[in-house]
């Protein structure tokens, strides 16, 4: 059994003014989906992707976690680009931070990985308890 959810697919549907992102995660041979929508411009895409990832994680945990995307960004770090996510657990007020390197200009995957990195230990504890 896999210890952590894995990224299966990042799907994006853009209209003139709105973008919808669906993140699909695999856990225990089941697919879990999370969807979020927002303005269709590049400055909002990381937040929309992050929110969709949180919804997928909430599905994986069967609602055991109620999560909030406190902050998300991509920034240079030396010669690299790094995606960073700050995630809050609403019930406890705990904050977690995750990071992921942007590989081959793929900010979408790095954003999902940063969110998962912030939550992986918490998710693993819930799912293996």
CATH number at residue 71: 3.30.160.270
Q: What percent of the chain has pLDDT over 90?
A: 74
Domain that holds residue 97: 6-127
d(CA 38, CA 50): 12
In a domain, 1, yes or no: no
Q: What is the number of domains present in the chain?
A: 1
Residue-wise pLDDT for 58-102, tens only, equals: 999 998 889 999 999 999 999 999 999 999 999 889 999 999 999
In a domain, 65, yes or no: yes
In a domain, 20, yes or no: yes
Residue-wise pLDDT for 83-94, tens only, equals: 999 999 998 899
**29 Cβ contact partners less than 8 Å away, ≥ 6 residues apart:** none
pTM of the complete model? 0.93
d(CA 18, CA 110): 22
């Amino acid at each position: 059994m896999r210890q952590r959810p894995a990224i299966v697919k990042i799907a994006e549907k853009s209209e003139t003014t709105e973008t919808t992102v669906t993140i699909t995660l695999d856990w225990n041979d089941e697919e879990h989906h999370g969807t979020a929508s927002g303005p269709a411009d590049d400055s909002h895409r990381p937040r929309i992707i992050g929110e969709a990832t949180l919804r997928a994680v909430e599905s994986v945990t069967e609602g055991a976690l109620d999560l909030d995307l406190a902050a998300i960004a991509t920034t240079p770090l030396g010669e690299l680009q790094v995606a960073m996510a700050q995630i809050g657990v609403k019930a406890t007020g705990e904050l977690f931070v995750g990071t992921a390197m942007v590989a081959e200009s793929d900010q979408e995957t790095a954003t999902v990985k940063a969110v998962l990195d912030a939550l992986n230990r918490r998710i693993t504890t819930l799912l293996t308890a």
